[in-house]
Amino acid sequence: MPRARRRRPSARPPRAAPLGAVVLAEPLLPAQAVDARFGLVLLEAGLCGVPIVATDIAPINAIIRNDQDGLLVPVNDYHALANAIQKIGSETGLSDRLRKNFSDRIAADFSKSTMTNSVNRIYFELLSSSES
């Protein structure tokens, strides 16, 4: 039997899509949201400058403000999901606005110091309430 020829890997890296064309779409069902880990992937994508389309459920809708930081779609509405992705690609300036707003919000509300201060405040409140 003749031996199959192996393809040599290309020396060129794959062509990257323009940044404005990349969208993080995270359609979650309510049961999956429990395991969404506070939407960490949304914050990571926001730091990378990726526009967000996600399901309008907690805790996601506490992180993404619809039409300000990203686009939220109803649970199980795949037409709305497709339309939101298409909207980001077709509306002039929408992708840039969403990315900038979310990046600014991450810097203000989800920085290491802000999160550390929030956790410390919760611990102090718990400790003071247990002493009463």
Q: What is the pLDDT along the chain (132 residues), one digit of tens a residue?
A: 556 555 544 444 334 334 444 567 666 555 555 555 567 888 888 988 889 998 888 888 889 999 999 999 998 888 999 999 999 989 999 999 999 999 999 999 988 898 899 899 999 999 888 776
According to the model, what pLDDT value does residue 59 have? Answer: 81
Q: Label residues 23-38 b or e (16+ Cβ within 10 Å = b).
A: bbbbbbeeeebeebee
According to the model, what pLDDT value does residue 42 have? Answer: 87
According to the model, what pLDDT value does residue 12 have? Answer: 44
**Does the predicted model carry a pTM greater than 0.75?**
no
